[in-house]
Amino acid sequence: MNIKKQFKEGLITNNPVLVQLIGMCATMAITTTLFNGVGMGLSVLIILTCCNVVVSALRKIIPNEIRLAIFVVIIAGFVTIVDLLLQAFIPALSESLGVFIPLIVVNCIIIGRAEAFCQKNTVGASFFDGIFQGLGYTCVLIIMCVVREFLGSGRFGGGLIDIANGFRFTLDGTGGGIQIFPADYGASILNLPFGGFLTLGTLIAVMQYALKKSAKKKELAEKEAAEAAEKEVEE
């Protein structure tokens, strides 16, 4: 396993949300402001990386029969730690994500990676897998937040960016964001769950289109190479 391949898999070819189609509930529910998206994405990234490392380190002593129970205990432990830390240090984020932080326990991405990857791979590979899969998840959340926030309320970076007193990042969720067009013109239905379904569906379609196109291109190139090789042999 090389890092470059893992990077590409996590972000593009095996993206958790757009290709594996897991962890979609929270994706549709919380992507209304950039503040939520970045917060949720980074929380999942941290939990995923920690769980991956621990599961992979313990992979030789975890008996096969009770592995799922053990995974759940480990995951629940890390989620609770992150939940408590957020409540103590970034209460605004904890409040705005609400139940979706504790719900990471049942997020398929984490148990899915533990089951599919960390059981069979080294600690190092699992660590990078956690980082890249987490980054892939975060990227999707950020794209969805940006699209929904822009179309829904004509804004960029709500909660995270404050431009009222010079450009700065706010961690307490009070930033007003950058208003690109008046909020009255925004299609506010995109801020509702319907907007989540619509945006995610469109994103998945675009991703599948791009993947198919690149696969076709690759196939064509391989075919040409094979033909050229054949020609050489003939000559």
Partner 1 sequence: MKKILKLTFILFLICAVTAGILGGINELTYRRIEEQNRLKTVKAYSAVLPADDYEEIDFAAAGIPASIDKVTIDKISKAANGSGYVVESTFSGAQGNITMAVGVGSDLRCTGISIIKHSETSGLGANAASTAEVGVNFRAQFVGEGAGIALKKAGGNIDALSGATITSTAVTNAVAVSIKAVSMLG
Partner 2 sequence: MAEQEKKERIILDVAYQPQVRTLRDTRRLMLDVIIALLPALCAAVWQFGAKVLVTVAASVASAVFFEWAYRKLLKKSNTIDDLSAVITGLLLALTLPPTAPWWLPVIGTLFAIVVVKQLYGGIGKNFLNPALAGRAFLLASYALLMGNFSVPKGLSGVVDGVTMATPLSYLYGENPLPAFFTPQAMFLGTMPGTIGEISALAILLGFAWLLIRKVISWRIPVSFVGTVALLTLAFGRGGEHVNFMLYNVLSGGLLFGAVFMATDYATSPVTLNGQLLYGAGCGALTVLIRYFGGFPEGVTYAILIMNLCTWAIDKGFHRHQFGVSKEDIAAAKAAKKAAKEAAK
Interface positions with partner 2 (CB under 8 A): 184-190, 192, 194, 198
Indicate the residue among 80 and 208 with the shorter CB distance to partner 1. Answer: 80
Residue 106 touching partner 1 (CB under 8 A): no
Q: What is the spatial distance between Cα 3 and Cα 49, in angstroms, rounded to a whole number?
A: 15
Q: What is the spatial distance between Cα 135 and Cα 13, in angstroms, rounded to a whole number?
A: 13
Minimum Å gap between C-beta 80 and partner 1 is: 6
Distances (CA, A) of 86 to 17, 80, 106: 24, 10, 19
Residue 194 binds which entry of partner 2, partner 1, none, CB below 5-8 Å type-dependent: partner 2
Minimum Å gap between C-beta 196 and partner 2 is: 14
Minimum Å gap between C-beta 159 and partner 1 is: 12
Q: Which residues pair with 161 in a beta bridge?
A: 169
Give the three-state DSSP class for 114.
helix
Q: What is the spatial distance between Cα 96 and Cα 112, in angstroms, rounded to a whole number?
A: 26
Specify the length of the chain in residues: 235
Indicate the residue among 169 and 194 with the shorter CB distance to partner 2. Answer: 194
Indicate the residue among 87 and 202 with the shorter CB distance to partner 2. Answer: 202
Cβ distance 105 to 72 under 8 Å? Answer: yes
**Cα angle at 191 between 189 and 145, to 5 degrees?**
135
Minimum Å gap between C-beta 88 and partner 1 is: 4
Binding mask 126-165 for partner 1 (x = CB under 8 A): ----------------------------------------
Taking CB under 8 A as the criterion, the residue among 91, 124, 193, 201 binding partner 1 is 91
Taking CB under 8 A as the criterion, the residue among 3, 5, 21, 80 binding partner 1 is 80
Cβ distance 134 to 38 under 8 Å? Answer: no
Minimum Å gap between C-beta 215 and partner 2 is: 20
Stretch that binds partner 1, among 27-35, 116-124, 183-191, 207-215 (CB under 8 A): 183-191
Parallel/antiparallel/unpaired status of strands 155-156 and 178-179: antiparallel
